[in-house]
Structure 1
């Protein structure tokens, strides 16, 4: 009994290219997700530093920039948490 593969070389190549693209897309998606999380983390760290910087100011200095001490967190995160 003989086995004959009637698939053309072009068909095999097309399947291999598609499989390779799928694998590369999955890897790219994973790296993209990791980079997005790293950027989000860096942004949050900058915001936390800003909160600490504003908390270190005196009430008079906060009054000059029109921020109440209890509103510091709301001020720094206003564009993320629409409160």
Structure 2
């Protein structure tokens, strides 16, 4: 019976470092995009309004999340 072991060594550490840098930049860009799409600010702003202000907008307090995500989810 023969046992064979294959070990992969990266011969070009500079290439690996550039690839790691690319992946890091990609992850940072995605995080920035996700944060910009976050709607927590809008939810907090609506929660800070009085019931009369919400009523004038046609929103009930328990419908704030539904209102904020109205373009994402059809409820």
Structure 2: 5+ residue runs without aligned partners? 1-14
Structure that is richer in helix per residue: 1
What TM-score do you get using the length of structure 2 for normalisation?
A: 0.58
1: CA distance between counterparts of 2:41 and 2:20? 35
Q: Which has the larger radius of gyration?
A: 1
For residue 69 of structure 1, report the CA deviation from its aligned partner. Answer: 0.8
Q: 1:35 aligns with which of 29, 39, 52?
A: 29
What TM-score do you get using the length of structure 1 for normalisation?
A: 0.54
After the TM superposition, which parts of structure 1 deviate over 6 Å for at least 4 consecutive aligned residues? Answer: none
2: CA distance between counterparts of 1:65 and 1:73? 14
Report the count of equivalent residues.
63
RMSD: 2.7
